[in-house]
Structure 1
């Protein structure tokens, strides 16, 4: 009887501590997620908590239109509305979070002229013109992002235009060209413009997507026979110059670098190559994990476990191609931690890098 009483008292004492530890771990996991959501405003703290299931994500990604219903506004309607939305996000988050967009210029721009925003030329067009023109365009882009409350731009693209039949990069004019030196020259100007306004820049898509024939949004993409080592050059130079805050992984499969996993899920690519060999110390962020290149091959549990163990610090769920709640993602990752499939050390390590960036926002 005495043993039962002692056990009961021990549970009373330690249960709150165990719950606190679980909540703390889940908060750290939520800080590793960049998530998309529906809506062009936040109607108070309770609304914020409903959208994000009581958690505060490490970041949000904003879109102008719903992917499946192009006539519907998702997050961005006008300059005034966007400025109010980002203000509300900062207020109700209660801590610094990344408020991100894909604002590359040309066809990939969430802030569009039709909605009252400035127009930026495509990377291809800029790559064919002078550095002075590039500086003017990117200075204007960065200033507009700053004024609208955006603090993270998933740009610049540093993929090389090596395959003329590549649609997702070359066809959409997202590359500055086939020359690594040209790509570095223009990407450097873009990064400096963003940094001047206090905006986080994200180089993409590591280790190179410009030689691919397929689109990872739609399915498995193999670049094993087309990828070239020169695709790493822009990363090596811009990292050495201290311009890379974050680097986004590609979902491409490249057996030259890893015979088993696509880049986002590959420890050989993210840790052995990008971290240890090239020397990147910043935040590695996945491309959208709802793309078919991942979801057609891996379950959610497999994808998050492999990505985090590979060295990816932040995971994107854009909620454009599919729908998932922040709590579903957090609970899934937490179960992997409980089962020993993801170590707490990786969660802490990722958060140290993330918080270093968040502290500058």
Structure 2
């Protein structure tokens, strides 16, 4: 039978979020109901609330989540009731041209649950954030959005792999290809940028430079693996990175901000044959101008990274294992644990730069 549970919605653009009753249907073919244990408060959720994604209100917010599968629909074989899972927003189809080429992390036909969760008050259909909607006691997702991991892991920590941490780690490791002995730089040291820093350290980079304008974030970056920090508000970030890398520039530079000025900095602070990775999300009106001779003359590559070019079934279990071994400090990303009715306050803290991640614990 359908269940009525509590969840957090954004009813209209810019309006404070609300905790309301939501009807979750039984899982249909290819679907699963997951009892959410923890869900991080991500900038993307705030973008949804502000109408920055689309205007398909009301939104059921939350997507960086972990929990336990409660029920599955017909044909589901990858997970079963009782499995501890991390939710992802790219359930691959296995049939599109990217999947057929053996590159499912580029899947062009990712999918979500077919059925809709609804408001208990009047039956209005909800749009779940990134096809997940996890600021809720139980959520309905496509079974392919569930990745089974070590059940002894802390849900509040490993749930963050569902979006921001995976995006940053993957941008550096999967997209950027950082390796043993490389030098790396990261512009923007929020959750995504710090995950990129941790990724560079784990992959064996010898020099990892964190660039930001907030000393609090730079301190966190050093704790997560940065060997050097640069406050771009008080010094020339490009020159500082070059000085810290023997005068050459970094082998891999990740722009976790996504603005024309930070992208140009990333372009200028990379070494010959180096790689620039854009993982920060720009707005539709932003443009960048680059000297074409420099694009040609420096060689290397300019890349963008969507969800860290990850394959959840490959990457999530591996990163959870690194966490359990003490090699990837996911706990450091959890600034505070909050209740489901504290999301609006968490948005304010995030906007002020006071936290890496507030995590709703259910």
TM range (shorter): under 0.3
Name whichever structure is richer in helix by fraction.
1
Name the structure with the higher strand share.
2
